[in-house]
Structure 1
Amino acid sequence: MSAMLDGLLQADQEFFLWLNGWHSPFWDAVMAAITYKFTWVPLYFALIYILISHFKTKAFGYLLCIIAVVALSDQIASGLFKPYFMRLRPCHDPVIGALVHLVKGCGGKYGFVSSHAATGFGIATSFNKLPFTKISHASWLYGWAFLYSYSRIYVGVHYPLDIAIGAIVGVLVGLLLVAAYRWSTRNSHSPYF
């Protein structure tokens, strides 16, 4: 089992170095902007606007559910996985650290799993599971979550496996909390939930 895990981690390092090796000054600037969480504040406000315009007073309940998805996804990634597994970020790894193309700072010591991936895919899943009936499907948010997550590999702070497992965490938390929210409000007569 250990040999198989070692092989998987070695392949993850090699895949990271290959992906991280494709860079240019132009893409450094683009990916630095994409990975910066405050770049996406206008998107978050647009999503809130969509919720309010479609669901009116019930938007408050859905918004609380999505906030819970983001908070829980982040806590599972940062508060549970990172301190438990203690996998160094590529930029902190003594074996490959010198080979990493680092666009900005390295961040915290540990990177497994990516909070960016967990929260991004949690948001995408939450919006895709809301009962939209009159507006277009929100599947494009998965493309945004992928780009947001991939930027973490590009800037040198996460391995592909950090991203993949973070995405799975976000999807599962999104599915679970939206299902629980919809179940709990199925017979509610509140105009806000």
Structure 2
Amino acid sequence: MIESIQQFDVELFLKIHRGLSNGLFDWLMPLMRNRFFWSPLYLFIVVFFIKQYKKQGYYIVGMTLFTFAMGDLIASRLIKPFVARVRPCNDFSLANDIIHRVPCGSGLSFPSAHATNHFAIAVFLICVLYSRWKPILPIGIFWAAIISFAQVYVGVHYPGDVTSGAILGTIIGFICSRIFKKIQPEF
């Protein structure tokens, strides 16, 4: 059963990585997964929360950073070494099928830390802000999903890696939002 799941994951990976290949995605998807591309958004979020919510804004920023740290710790330090799945771009059996759109890196594949971290942050912010700003739901999910999809498109993760990362990140983001609401019940 595990082998059939892995085979499906490889086939779906190739359908996305090679089958959806086009000039627009070749330009856009490497940007979507690049942390420097999103830096202005991260800076905006920090400044916005502090300016808009004053002392509570510092708590939101701090808890967002904690959420990110928990996602990264659990995905990268706990699960990845245990599972030890090779990235598709480093898998010798896929060497002739990989389009090198970004450097592969030597890290492991399962789960995607990008997906875990961005879904964790998105779900945390959705849970904290939804009652005040409803558009955070589709915007947050789309943001995390496009970053996750980009990981598959550029060839550094399998779809199962990003799906698992999204699920893990959703759980972490939800738990961290509950912690935040205990610390800041009036928000």
TM-score (normalised: structure 2):
0.92
SS in 2 for 1:7: helix
Structure-2 change in CA distance of 1:33 and 1:131 (3 Å): closer
Q: 148-157 or 125-134, which moves further after superposition? A: 125-134
Q: Distance in 1 between matches of 2:70 and 2:84?
A: 19
Structure 1: which 5+ runs fail to align?
A: 188-192
Structure-2 change in CA distance of 1:25 and 1:54 (3 Å): same
SS in 2 for 1:108: coil
Pair member with larger Rg: 1
Q: Distance in 1 between matches of 2:103 and 2:133?
A: 40
Structure-2 change in CA distance of 1:54 and 1:102 (3 Å): same
Residues 19-98 of structure 1: pairs in structure 2 closer than 5 A: 19-21=16-18, 22-98=20-96
Q: Distance in 1 between matches of 2:93 and 2:107?
A: 15
C-alpha contact 1:65 1:181 (8 A) present in aligned 2: yes
> 1:18 maps to which residue?
15
Q: Distance in 1 between matches of 2:132 and 2:13?
A: 41
TM-score (normalised: structure 1):
0.89
C-alpha contact 2:112 2:162 (8 A) present in aligned 1: yes
1:12 positional shift: 0.3
Letter of the 2:47 partner, please give it: Y
Q: 24-33 or 6-15, which moves further after superposition? A: 24-33
1:164 positional shift: 0.4
Q: Distance in 2 between matches of 1:83 and 1:15?
A: 24
- The answer on 1:156 being equivalent to 2:160 is no
Structure-2 change in CA distance of 1:134 and 1:26 (3 Å): closer
Structure-2 change in CA distance of 1:99 and 1:127 (3 Å): same
Q: Which stretches of structure 1, 4 residues or longer, exceed 6 Å deviation after superposition?
A: none
1:91 positional shift: 0.8
Q: Distance in 2 between matches of 1:42 and 1:92?
A: 31
CA RMSD of aligned residues (A): 1.7
Q: Distance in 2 between matches of 1:57 and 1:27?
A: 41
> 1:146 maps to which residue?
145
> 2:4 maps to which residue?
7
Letter of the 1:19 partner, please give it: I
Structure 2: which 5+ runs fail to align?
A: none
Q: Distance in 2 between matches of 1:48 and 1:39?
A: 16
1:81 positional shift: 1.4
- The answer on 1:181 being equivalent to 2:164 is no
> 2:169 maps to which residue?
170
* Structure 1 residues 48-85: Cα deviation after superposition (integer angstroms, max 9, x where no partner): 23322432221111111110000110111111111110
